[in-house]
Amino acid sequence: MIREIAVIGSGTMGNGIAHVFAQHNFKVTLIDINVAQLEKAIATIAKNLERQIAKGTSTEEQKAITLNNIITSTDINRGVKNALLVIEAATENADIKLNIFKQLDETAPADCILATNTSSISITKIAAVTKRADKVIGMHFMNPVPVMKLVEIINGRETKKEVTNAIVELSKQLEKIPCVVNDAPGFIANRILMPMINEAIYSLHEGVAGVASIDTIMKLGMAHPMGPLQLADYIGLDVCLNIINVLYDGFKSEKYAPCPLLINMVNNGKLGVKSGEGFYIYQPGNKDLTVSPQFK
């Protein structure tokens, strides 16, 4: 039974994944090449546990147990040596991920499952750099991990059924809802979400409607919790552009061509929440949603 795991990459997703496993009594080694990032990750997990305590969904005792279940390391080889599952959540860059998987294949125990949290890189391609393609799988958590219920599980071409079943069971142990899909550009989540966001940007670009109208129509008309332009700001416009380009390249279809406005905004450093401006403007302490002056 899997009780000991390693998470590679301690950024936005890695700290959330470590948090959720540790909270469910798994022993977690959280690995990053950047020590400051590891320290920040532990502080973020502690802050998010405090938030759960304030909401009444956790206790001081559970917080202490959760933090105690996590150790950090900058040494990938030592960090994975007892793991039966490694989840890679490093930077979304194919070369970085392929190198990590080559290294993991050499150092992780032979029966260890190697999972990736990639949003868009082919699982089959990642698996192909290892000698255990049958034990490589996508385990795509959603942001923020402690809150979002879905885990999109992606079978590579050679993933064994027992491996998929083990990851499905594990996701349920984390009180998540797993959905299994097959490897294709964007999998399911981003294959459907990103063209919708791109279409919303095209509608704005063509002057069919303004930012607020597009988002309100999708929120109130389709019961989406957030409009597509606000969601794009939240995800990061650079991340959206990368994923749309993965669909465009993967399917070789004009249907997925990124909107010129999106390309322009990314070139111009308007990346959404993280840069302070996208379709809306974001200022510390201001909770009101204000449309960027560019679109007024």
- State the catalytic residues: 119, 140, 152, 190
Output 212 or 229, the one with its CB closest to ligand NAD. 229
> How far, in Å, CA of 236 to CA of 238, rounded?
5
Output 145 or 212, the one with its CB closest to ligand NAD. 145
Output 92 or 183, the one with its CB closest to ligand NAD. 92
Residues that bind ligand NAD (CB under 6 A): 8-14, 31-34, 37, 89-92, 96, 100, 117-119, 140, 143, 235
Q: Give min distance, CB of 17 to ligand NAD, in A.
A: 9
> How far, in Å, CA of 161 to CA of 134, rounded?
9
CA dihedral 216, 223, 145, 60 (to 10 degrees): 100
> How far, in Å, CA of 217 to CA of 228, rounded?
10
Q: Give min distance, CB of 105 to ligand NAD, in A.
A: 14
DSSP 8-class letter at 116: E
- CA-nearest of 16, 89, 17 to 51 is 16
Q: Give min distance, CB of 262 to ligand NAD, in A.
A: 17
Q: Give min distance, CB of 60 to ligand NAD, in A.
A: 28
Q: Tell me the pairing of strands 4-8 and 85-88.
A: parallel
> What tokens were used for 38?
């590891």
Residue whose CB is nearest to ligand NAD in the complex, by number:
11
Q: What is the largest CA-CA distance in the chain?
A: 58
Q: Give min distance, CB of 138 to ligand NAD, in A.
A: 10
> How far, in Å, CA of 3 to CA of 21, rounded?
9
Output 97 or 212, the one with its CB closest to ligand NAD. 97
Output 60 or 106, the one with its CB closest to ligand NAD. 106
Output 120 or 164, the one with its CB closest to ligand NAD. 120
Which spans in the chain are helix H? 12-23, 35-55, 60-68, 76-79, 94-107, 123-127, 161-173, 189-205, 211-222, 228-235, 237-251, 260-267
Q: Give min distance, CB of 173 to ligand NAD, in A.
A: 20
CA distances from 284 to 78, 202, 229, 273 (A): 40, 29, 20, 10
- CA-nearest of 110, 107, 146 to 16 is 146
